[in-house]
Structure 1
Amino acid sequence: MSRTGAIPLDRPSLARRLADAVAERARAGVGRGRKDWLIIARAAFAAAVAYLVSGLLWGHEHPFFASIAAFVIIGFSADAKVRKVFEMSGGVMMGILLGELARTTIGSGTWQIFVVIFCAGLLARLVDSGITFGIQTSIQSLLVMIMPATPTMSPGGRILDALTGVSIAILVHLLLSGDPRKIQRRAADSFFQELEDTLVALALAARSGSADIARAALVNLRSTSQKYTDAWKLANDAANEMATFSPTGLRHADDVARMKHLLIGSDRAMRNARVIARREVEFLSVVAGEPHSTLADALLAGRDAVTAIRDGVEDEVDFTTARRQLRLFSSYLTPETLLISDDGLRPGRAGHFEGVTLVIQLRSLAIDLLEATGLPQRDAKRFLPSLIVAADGDTVGPRPMTREMAAIEPPATTEALELLIADRSDPDRRL
């Protein structure tokens, strides 16, 4: 027996925990470096070319303002929008002009630095609401004030260097931005990974009958899902601008547009996942923790469909396989299939409302994902099995299909479904 307050024998030592923390940070840093090395190389290339070109054009011995302007405009962001590039360019030029004006009129010194940065900040807020614009304006005016004057670096020379750096940065951004689909795919990959993890957690909750696991998944999804949607929207905007203005991105305009459309249904699916998690918490609470393996299997089939959509994004935005997976997911989605526990018990009247609303929400998730692959809602609904059910006493089951009901909800044929599946999202590319 250990003494009260003693460190448990299985707890790692302080040195071990510090080593693990350092190793984790190192792994994360290496991962960031591998992901962003090309972006960093592009910024360094822009700075070097701006320095070279400014020296050749204007004969300046040390045209460092050209390198500074080019580097800060390109930066480390792979998804910088054209508007942001021009915004930063404007901030750089306005800051240098303000600095030159202040240095010429009031000189350079401690109080002059205070005055010029204060005025630059106020003017930047007046001109533009962006934080980046204000920071660049203030920093560039400060650099002009504190850099020592040299015989070859006149006020006009610094402005020429800055103009050269700005021009080089814009050209590099437009010509060397690369494939605009990459930033969309990166954002979509993170988005779908979050959705997959949620469905796996909900499947685990259903298989174990634990409302606590479902509740934890709900809390996590509420706190993180919106940032993935926002990141994808920003990536779409940047990719759309690259496909519009960049000569290297024009040929990818159609795929960029399909990825923008994919977000519409996917965002609805993510919102639905939050409601599904809440409904599952309520359902598992009502049925007193009874395991529901069929519900878990359905959720895992949904996860497989999301994985197929993510793979389709990498495969030229082709969702043929994803639609087949969604057909399998949809086949589960009736109350008489999903609401039976592992012991063969139905939820009864007490759990009827929570169970059926959970099924309805899962069906809505299937529709959202099918629409995300390019199907119109009318065709997406044909993937779903009939949902004409009745609650009689403590049972939930299908009603007899009358002629009137059949006219309202005709069954989908295998041939029709295969046609929908094989009809890829690009009309010019069919099986």
Structure 2
Amino acid sequence: MSPQPARSGAPGSRPTGSPTATGPLPAVPMLDRARETVRGWFFQGISRGRSDALTVGRAAIAAALAYLVSGFIWNHEHPFFSSIVAFIIIGFGIEKKMRKIVEMSCGVMLGVLLGELARAVIGSGTWQILVVVFGAGMLARFIDSSNLFGFQVAIQSLLVMIMPITPGMTPGGRALDAVTGVVVAIIIHLLLSGDPRRLQSRAASSFYRELEDTLVSLALSARSGDRGVAQAALKNIRAVSQKYTDEWSLANDVANEMATFSPSGLRHADDVNRLQHLLVGSDRAMRNMRVIARREVEFLEAVRGDAHSRLADALLAARDAVLELSRAVSHEDVDFTEARRKLRLFCSYLSPEMLLRNDEGMRPGRAGHFEGVTLTIQLRSLAIDLLQATGLSAAEAKQFLPSLVVAADGDAIGPRPMTMEMRALEPPATTEALELLITDRSDPDRRR
């Protein structure tokens, strides 16, 4: 009997739109990919615009105000240098503005002075521009290695050479406009910087969101036994984890600068320091996540894709703790008590006898046992990192972890009544750890 052709949608049938040996690839998937690309670009653009709206607004205010001040005080007809300098100093995004202001100010002033001197001595024209721009660029590289400084020296000297002198402007008028732009930009930046903790909270939220997504993916991989999901999570966190760490570190620097120099940020100095300290343990946790993802891939490969729901539960408990950390930093009063409670639940899973049995209750073989114990130790290290992020010391954090001291009796492995020798190896009793749950000791200056 000849086989019947498979119906559309039946198992083994080729889906509509799939490539065939005789026909070209259909256009529909390509259109879908293009639509998704455009949608992703659109929403990323909206996100960037929302994040930088205040900064661009400050830059626009500084540019307009600098132009107005130069025209009003110095009676310059077209003081465009004031606006240019003020806008460039504030710029886009977040960065360490005070250092940028110093580099910008020095570069602008040197460039304007070089341009004015060259214009007075050799005039303005094609070959003069070549000589002045080359000389300004080489002098800037000799003085300082900063690209920003060199760019400003060269570009300002170029602008002086090519821009016409307006009526009533003296040779030093542009230098005066540049100084005005610098001063206005400094004032606007310091007065309109806003709450420095907002930058840190936003960076921390993105950082923790990446941790949460990775933990969820690893939990899904453990529950299904599909190591491909863990491999995808590993590839992603390797690609983006350092970016989130660098963004938080930069936000800390900017917030610390604002809390030092800005009148509106001085009262938040203590909270800025606390959120700054939080990155130390969190960065270690992010680095640990890369290792955990790799260890889980190797563990699932060693156990041949067995499902491990208990391991998935542990990873989801870690996700819940990270979520609480993210909520804590978004509040005005930072309190890590609830995050420590979640971390205590996560810690309760972290022993090999809890994590290594599959859903049928079977222990892994020799290779699986080795990889599983390595994964368990790495998860314990993650728990300590997150607990230290809440302000605990390493010794305090270790009190949350269950014992690794077990006794073996044939094939039965698990906790047994301890001998005096085993008790000597045990961590301290958990009463102090329980007390840490109800006492917020995240303040670096807390009393012991």
Range into which the TM-score falls when normalised by the shorter chain: over 0.9
Task: Please say if 1:408 is aligned against 2:425.
Answer: yes
Q: 1:321 aligns with which of 338, 341, 348?
A: 338
Distance 1:391 1:229 in 2: 43
Q: 2:403 aligns with which of 376, 386, 389?
A: 386
Taking every aligned residue pair, what percent have the same amino acid on both sides?
66
- Taking the aligned partners of 2:140 and 2:409, their CA distance within structure 1 comes to 69
Match of 1:228, SS? Answer: helix
Aligned to 2:259: 243
| Aligned counterparts, 1:15-414, within 5 A | 18=34, 20-315=36-331, 316-389=333-406, 396-410=413-427, 412-413=429-430
Q: How far apart, CA to CA, are the structure 2 residues paired with 1:228 and 1:343? A: 39
RMSD: 2.2
Q: 1:114 to 1:391 in 2, by over 3 A?
A: farther
SS state at 1:347 partner: coil
Give the Cα separation in 2 of the matches to 1:210 and 1:85.
Answer: 52
Task: Indicate if the aligned counterparts of 1:335 and 1:359 stay in contact, CA closer than 8 A.
Answer: yes
- For residues 268 and 201 of structure 2, the distance between their equivalents in structure 1, rounded to whole angstroms, comes to 13
Pairwise CA distance, 1:383: 0.8
In the TM superposition, residue 52 of structure 1 has moved relative to its aligned partner by: 1.2
Q: Whole-Å Cα distance in 2 between the matches of residues 225 and 391 of structure 1? A: 40
Letter in 2 for 1:372: A
Distance (Å, rounded) in 2 between the aligned partners of 1:350 and 1:405: 27
Match of 1:420 among 436, 441, 445: 436
Unmatched tracts of structure 1, length 5 or more: none
Alpha-carbon displacement from aligned partner over 1:124-146 (angstroms, at most 9, x marks no partner): 11222121111122111111111
For 1:317 and 1:308, the matched residues in 2 are separated by 11
The CA distance in 1 between the partners of 2:409 and 2:235, in whole Å, is 35
| Change over 3 Å in CA distance of 1:83–1:319 after alignment to 2 | same
Residue 41 (structure 1) shift: 0.8
Cα offset, 1:95, TM superposition:
1.3
Aligned to 1:312, what secondary structure does the other structure show? helix
How far is 1:417 from its partner?
3.1
Shift of 1:394: 6.2
The offset of 1:215, in angstroms, is 2.1
SS in structure 1 opposite 2:28? Answer: coil
Note the C-alpha offset of 1:19.
5.0
> In the TM superposition, what whole-angstrom CA distance separates every residue of 1:210-259 from its partner, at most 9, and x where no partner exists?
22222222222222211211222122111111111111111111111111
1:335-367 superposed Cα distances (whole Å, 9 cap, x missing partner): 111101011101133322111111111001000
Q: Deviations over 1:87-131 (max 9, x none)?
A: 122211111111111111111111111111111111111222121
- Taking a change above 3 Å as real, the CA distance of residues 236 and 13 of structure 1, as seen in their structure-2 partners, is closer
Q: Once the 2 structures are TM-superposed, how far is the Cα of residue 43 of structure 1 from its aligned partner?
A: 0.2
Q: CA deviation at 1:34?
A: 2.0
Measure how far apart 1:61 and its partner are: 1.7
Paired residue secondary structure (2:414):
strand
Cα 1:341–1:99 change in 2 (3 A) is same
Aligned-partner residue type, residue 93 of structure 2: S
Would you say the 8 A contact 1:367–1:381 is kept in 2? Answer: yes
Distance 1:404 1:306, change over 3 A: same
Number of aligned residue pairs: 428
* TM-score with structure 1 setting the length: 0.93
Q: For residue 410 of structure 1, report the CA deviation from its aligned partner.
A: 4.6
- Cα 1:397–1:52 change in 2 (3 A) is same
Distance 2:157 2:410 in 1: 78
Change (3 A) 1:228 1:347: same
Deviation at 1:183, TM superposition (A): 1.5
8 A Cα contact 1:70 1:168, kept in partner: yes
Greater shift, 182-191 or 28-37, is seen at: 28-37
SS of aligned partner of 1:227:
helix
* Contact 2:101-2:182 within 8 A present in 1 as well: no
Q: Give deviations 1:377-400, integer Å, cap 9, x for gaps.
A: 111111111111356776653354
Larger deviation: 73-82 or 158-167? 73-82
